[in-house]
Every structure is written in C-alpha cells, then in structure tokens.
Amino acid sequence: MHAPRSSDVIEPEMLMLAYRSGIFPMADNREDPEIFWVEPRLRAILPLDGFRLSRSLARTLRRGRFTVTCDAAFSRVMDECAAPRRGVEAEEEGDDNGRSWISHRIQASYENLHRLRRAHSLECWQEGSDGRRRLVGGLYGVGFDRVFCGESMFSRVPDASKVALAWLVAALRRGGGVLLDCQFITPHLMSLGAVEIAQKRYLALLRAARSGEAQSLPFAASAGGVSTGEAAALGEGSGDGAGDGGVLALPDAFAALLGDAASAGLASSPGKFIAHALTQTS
C-alpha cells in the first residue's frame, strides 16, 4: 500500500511503530515522493556471536586503516548510501543499476529520527595524501530496545563497510543489544555471518528482544518455534556492558567501547581492541 503523495517526513511515531512490528518503508527511486511498507517473507539477521571476522579483516582492524566514528556525519552517510553503487561497492555487494530505494522523503524522515536519537550512523574515515580526512565508508540504521535495524551501508575503498559493521557488532554486544536486523540477505552479508529466516521467526525474535526476555538461549530457542541456530542471534550477544539488564543506545555503547580500549592501553589503536573482542566469538 502506498502512502499519499507528500513531501512531508514520515511521522517518527509511525516509523517506530513499523519497526517494532517488523515493517519498514522503501521507495521506488530517489525522486519518488511515495513510500510503501515492506514486510518480507524472509528476513536477514546477523547473529551477534556469529560475525565472521576473517584474517584479512582482523588485520585491517588492527592496523587502524580507518578512523571510525559514531553519529559524526549521519546525513552524509545517507547521501552516500543513496548514491549509485560503483567500483569496490559494486564488486563486493552487487550493482543496483543506479537505482536507490532511499528517496529524499525517506532520507528526511530518517534525519528527523536521528535528531530524536533513534537513528544512528557509523562512519569510516581515511586520511588522504593531502592530509585531509575523507569519508570512505559507513552504515546507518534504527535502534530501539535491544534491537538495531541496519538500513544500508556503503564503501568507497575495500573493507570500509566491513569495518563499520564489525564496530557495530562490537558496540551492540557492549551495549546490551541482542538482535541485528539486516532486512534482506546478500552474498556480502552472508560472507560476514548473516543468515536468512522466515518473517514469522523474525517476529518471535523481535518480541523476545523487545520484552527483555532474550537473556538466555533456552528462552530464545523456544520462542515461536525459533530454532537453536537462529536463536544464536539472541544468545550471549548482550555483552557485558549493559549493567543491571539495561541497554545502551548505539552512541553510548560506542563511547563505552572507546573507554574500554583506553583502559586496555589501546586508546590510539582501538581497532586492535575491536579485533580482539570479536575474535573471542568468531
């Protein structure tokens, strides 16, 4: 069903209700003022304890090829995600023929959600030969309760989006998150550990994550017929940084990660800390 033609942003209450119901908006192209609501039959999730950290990606993290930030350039990340895939990105993630489902209306809606601290971004920066820092990769999504719904990511150089995703997984674990929704499966996401499940099972995982009951594998495995393998997404991924069963918003979890790295004597090379943390569960 299409929304009425309008340049107005989608009301944040409506957006959050949709995400809490397992639904999200898309558009046919960048200029389309209409949106449609999507509830896929099959859903992609990335189990937080199942992220595949390859040796090459771990090496990239340890070497600190990128500086990673959180919520430092949300609108720019959305601009890049909406741009046509090219070069490295087309090879790694598949070419989308220049079309984007991120319309101007959708972008304005998520920028509004970002101002309300419900949508967040991670950015990968790289210093150029001129000494200036360039945005070369990143991702954005919507966070609520113990859930993060990844919307889109981009890379302008090899491994940039992979590094952003590695930091996202580490931050969610640190902050008490239990469910990372990737919406649609791709070979790129599969190579990083994403799996595809039925929407019915996703909704069971979503209910468990939202209720705060997804603290142990036995509950998650029995919820709504969710298999043990799929329940790994709700297993031990809550991390040890939430405290008293609480959950940190992504920016706070990201800051906590940096604090942990500093405490470990790695303030100048936090990528080493991230690689070590993810190696323990990959």
Predicted TM-score (pTM) of this structure: 0.85
* pLDDT tens track for 56-89: 999 999 999 999 999 999 999 999 999 987 655 5
- 165 occurs within a structural domain: yes
Q: How many CA atoms lie within 13 A of 99 on its CB side?
A: 8
d(Cα 44, Cα 187) in Å, to the nearest integer?
A: 11
Is residue 133 scored above 60 in pLDDT?
yes
Range of the domain at 44: 12-279
- 197 occurs within a structural domain: yes
The confidence band for 232, taking pLDDT boundaries of 50, 70 and 90, is very low
Strands 147-155 and 179-183: parallel
Question: How many domains are there within the chain?
Answer: 1
* pLDDT tens track for 210-227: 887 654 322 233 233 334
Least confident of 30-44, 57-71, 221-235, 237-251: 221-235
Average pLDDT over residues 81-107: 73
- 7 occurs within a structural domain: no
Tell me which range, 3-12, 180-189, 221-230, 235-244, is most confidently predicted by mean pLDDT. Answer: 180-189
Average pLDDT over residues 125-132: 90
Residue 128 is predicted with a pLDDT of 85
Least confident of 139-153, 215-229, 242-256: 215-229
| 174: CATH | 3.40.630.70
The confidence band for 8, taking pLDDT boundaries of 50, 70 and 90, is confident
- 1 occurs within a structural domain: no
- 4 occurs within a structural domain: no
d(Cα 260, Cα 248) in Å, to the nearest integer?
A: 15
Dihedral sign (CA 187, 81, 173, 67): positive
Is residue 233 scored above 50 in pLDDT?
no
The confidence band for 92, taking pLDDT boundaries of 50, 70 and 90, is low
Average pLDDT over residues 251-275: 96
Residue 129 is predicted with a pLDDT of 83
- 244 occurs within a structural domain: yes
- 47 occurs within a structural domain: yes
d(Cα 281, Cα 169) in Å, to the nearest integer?
A: 11
Residue 213 is predicted with a pLDDT of 64
Is residue 46 scored above 50 in pLDDT?
yes
Is residue 239 scored above 70 in pLDDT?
no
Q: Which two tokens stand for residue 261?
A: 């790295």
The confidence band for 98, taking pLDDT boundaries of 50, 70 and 90, is low
Residue 147 is predicted with a pLDDT of 97
The confidence band for 25, taking pLDDT boundaries of 50, 70 and 90, is very high
Phi-psi region of 225 (alpha: psi -120 to 50; beta: other; left: phi over 0): left
The rounded mean pLDDT for the chain is 85
Dihedral sign (CA 231, 237, 242, 248): negative
- 6 occurs within a structural domain: no
